[in-house]
């Protein structure tokens, strides 16, 4: 069984809150994490995938919640009214670690606003797709250490030796991190699994949520959103190209975010007298699902279709986001772009410290422009001593006095 980097943080927080809510897209491995690891010790596990269990909760929620001192309830979104009952139970007994709730889709919960009932009583974590480090059973890149490094030379010393083959990296980017898709034997079986996943997502997470219009409209919106992964989010443009009203596009995007299929990265800006783009960037939450929606299954197809850069950046953004979630001191993730066109793909921050990160789907960086990175380092010299460029090459190396290239094979 693959060890998840979020497990340690989940275990720590369980001891600090009466309730934990573990969210994540379908098939990322939430049930395995809460049922088959040390998280499960001393806990009774129940799932609302079982019709009898769901019926018992609906019939007498108070008795249902009192059947064990520590209770894990999987697929809690199937009975979102339970959040109100959990709140009342916690108000009577605030012992730590009483409830661990998981949800494959927060669509109905978000739609009804039920999760807010647990505000102040619960911690929320999101489990993402498998990362490269998890698949290879090793520690991920130490982003907290990199943020604290005094200069680029010290940062280079923190980087592990790349141990992944380029072919393995490419397969990971294309297949994504949903365990069944990652384990697919070939491209054909991967595509068939993805078709089933899309159908299950529509059937279980989209159609039960009312006021969202026809499923064909939502499918077009999903595809258009996929084509924009890694780009500045313009909801008006997205609605126009998907052929749906702006109000529907707003609902669709909330659904994608609520069901952990899509996330946004906010812009970083400080008042430096510059005109900065203040719109967020959007990313799909799994590069494999993105590749499927974009219609590519090989590195060459993605390159020829002009989608390789966005696909690779989406994968890197998810790897960095997973590491930020798993850390003891959660890092913030942003992007940076000026109205004159200078940009940096990702900016990690903690307090006043900044780490700009560029992403390049290239094995060689000799002809790659780094003007955006250089401008950022000039503008934020007091808080950003160096920057990193993540690429598909097999070695780490200096690109200049304040910029280092980092092999994606060590993420």
Question: What is the structure's pLDDT at 384?
Answer: 96
pLDDT tier at 117 (50, 70, 90 boundaries)? low
Which one of 111, 126, 141 terminates a domain? Answer: 126
Same domain for 207 and 72, yes or no, is no
Residue 200 lies in a domain: yes
pLDDT digits (tens, 9 = 90+) for 150-202: 999 999 999 998 888 889 999 999 999 999 898 888 889 999 999 998 888 87
pLDDT tier at 209 (50, 70, 90 boundaries)? low
Which of 131, 118, 183, 39 has the alpha carbon at shortest distance from 318? 131
Decide if pLDDT at 110 tops 50. no
Average pLDDT over residues 220-246: 93
Same domain for 215 and 303, yes or no, is yes
Which one of 81, 105, 126 terminates a domain? Answer: 126
Same domain for 102 and 150, yes or no, is no
Residue 229 lies in a domain: yes
Residue 207 lies in a domain: yes
Residue 369 lies in a domain: yes
Same domain for 111 and 197, yes or no, is no
The whole-chain average pLDDT of the chain stands at: 88
Decide if pLDDT at 409 tops 90. yes
Same domain for 74 and 183, yes or no, is no
DSSP β-ladder status, 343-350 and 332-337: antiparallel
Write out the residue range of the structural domain in which residue 313 sits. Answer: 132-410
Decide if pLDDT at 115 tops 60. no
Count up the domains in the chain and report the number. 2
Same domain for 213 and 107, yes or no, is no
Average pLDDT over residues 28-49: 92
DSSP β-ladder status, 332-337 and 262-267: parallel
Same domain for 78 and 207, yes or no, is no
Same domain for 398 and 271, yes or no, is yes
Decide if pLDDT at 397 tops 60. yes
Q: What is the CATH number of the domain that holds 18?
A: 3.40.50.300
Same domain for 92 and 199, yes or no, is no
Same domain for 185 and 304, yes or no, is yes
Same domain for 30 and 81, yes or no, is yes
Residue 1 lies in a domain: no
Which tokens go with 146? Answer: 């990199």
pLDDT digits (tens, 9 = 90+) for 310-343: 999 999 999 999 988 887 677 899 999 988 888 9
Residue 2 lies in a domain: no
Query: Under DSSP, is residue 76 helix (H, G, I), strand (E, B) or coil?
Result: helix
Question: What is the structure's pLDDT at 112?
Answer: 47
Same domain for 149 and 46, yes or no, is no
Burial degree of 86 (CB within 10 A; 0-12, 13-18, 19+)? buried
Question: What is the structure's pLDDT at 275?
Answer: 64
Reported as half-sphere exposure (CB side, CA atoms, 13 A), residue 395 has a value of 5
204 DSSP assignment: I
Question: What is the structure's pLDDT at 81?
Answer: 82
pLDDT digits (tens, 9 = 90+) for 215-229: 788 889 999 999 999
């Amino acid at each position: 069984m693959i060890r998840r980097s979020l497990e340690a943080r989940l275990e720590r927080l369980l001891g600090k809150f009466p309730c934990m809510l573990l969210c994540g897209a379908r098939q990322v491995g939430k049930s395995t994490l809460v049922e088959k690891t040390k998280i499960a010790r001393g806990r009774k596990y129940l799932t609302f995938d079982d019709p009898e269990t769901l019926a018992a909760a609906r019939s007498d929620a108070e008795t249902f919640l009192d059947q064990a001192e520590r209770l894990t309830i999987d697929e809690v979104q199937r009975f979102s009214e339970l959040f109100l009952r959990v709140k009342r139970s916690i108000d009577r007994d605030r012992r730590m670690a009483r409830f661990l709730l998981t949800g494959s889709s927060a669509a109905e919960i978000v739609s009804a606003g039920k999760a807010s009932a647990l505000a102040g009583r619960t911690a929320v974590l999101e489990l993402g797709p498998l990362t490269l480090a998890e698949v290879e059973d090793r520690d991920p890149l130490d982003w907290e250490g990199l943020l604290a490094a005094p200069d680029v030379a010290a940062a280079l010393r923190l980087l592990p030796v790349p141990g992944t083959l380029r072919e393995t990296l490419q397969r990971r980017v294309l297949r994504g991190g949903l365990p069944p898709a990652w384990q697919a034997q070939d491209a054909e079986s991967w595509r068939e699994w993805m078709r089933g996943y899309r159908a299950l997502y529509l059937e279980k997470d989209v159609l039960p949520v009312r006021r969202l219009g026809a499923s064909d409209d939502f499918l077009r919106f999903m595809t258009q959103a996929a084509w924009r992964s890694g780009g500045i989010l313009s909801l008006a443009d997205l609605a126009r190209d998907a052929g749906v009203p702006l109000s529907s596009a707003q609902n669709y995007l909330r659904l994608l975010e609520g069901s952990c299929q899509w996330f946004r990265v906010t812009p970083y800006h400080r008042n430096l007298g510059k005109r900065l783009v203040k719109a967020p960037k959007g990313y799909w939450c799994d590069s494999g699902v993105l590749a499927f929606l974009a219609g590519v299954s090989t590195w060459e197809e993605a390159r020829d279709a002009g989608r390789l850069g966005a696909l690779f950046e989406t994968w890197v953004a998810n790897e960095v986001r997973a590491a930020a979630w798993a850390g003891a001191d959660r890092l913030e993730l942003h992007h940076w772009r000026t109205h004159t066109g200078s940009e940096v793909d990702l900016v990690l921050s903690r307090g006043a410290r900044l780490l700009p990160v560029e992403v390049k789907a290239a094995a060689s960086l000799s002809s790659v422009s780094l003007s955006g990175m250089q401008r950022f380092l000039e503008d934020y010299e007091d808080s950003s001593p160096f920057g990193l460029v993540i690429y598909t090459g097999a070695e780490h190396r200096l690109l200049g006095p304040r910029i280092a290239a980092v092999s994606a094979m060590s993420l």
